[in-house]
Structure 1
Amino acid sequence: MTKKIGISLPDDLHAWIVGEIEDGRADSVSGLIADALEALRGQDALEQLVSGMEEEIGELGPEERADVDAWMEEAGRAAEEARRRRESRERESSRRPGEAA
């Protein structure tokens, strides 16, 4: 289920989104914003997990913090790859039978 809403964006951010769509890296403004918010929500969940761990076991040292940062970076890459695969599937399914790519 989706909810249609209206948002305001700075001109430069809107121009960047339009460029992403024109270059084929995003299917729509709504899709790009939804993907970005999903990634942000995932990052927030990971940060909350780390905070909870720190409450239980104490503050993480530099090595542990570096591991967490690496996990967050990897999670971001995985989310981006998943978004690209989903968009590719959506583009494929929206084509008519026999239509060329």
Structure 2
Amino acid sequence: MRLSIIPVTALLLTACAPEPAPVTGSLPFFGDGYRFKGDVCRRLGESDATAEYLDHTADLVGCPEDAENLGVFVIDTSAVEVARQDGYVIYSVPIS
């Protein structure tokens, strides 16, 4: 029973969050996947499109909007959505 409460709570918190600002320009992806090699999410480097979201205390990560486990990714990594562009959700993920 307790496990069913967590996704509902996460959904409600997401619904209350402000809509992230759109990003323009191309996304500078690098690496073979974020967290594990082959993951669909990947780190983002510095560019005009990402400069305002970069932070030395967090990784900037882009995930396809249609990825199956975005909710799990957000919960597991404490990721915060900061923008969307070209079919990707851009997250700031605190470095642990």
The two structures share one fold, judged by TM-score above 0.5: no
Structure in which a larger fraction of residues adopt strand: 2
Normalization by structure 1: what TM-score?
0.25
Normalization by structure 2: what TM-score?
0.26
* Structure with max Cα Rg: 1
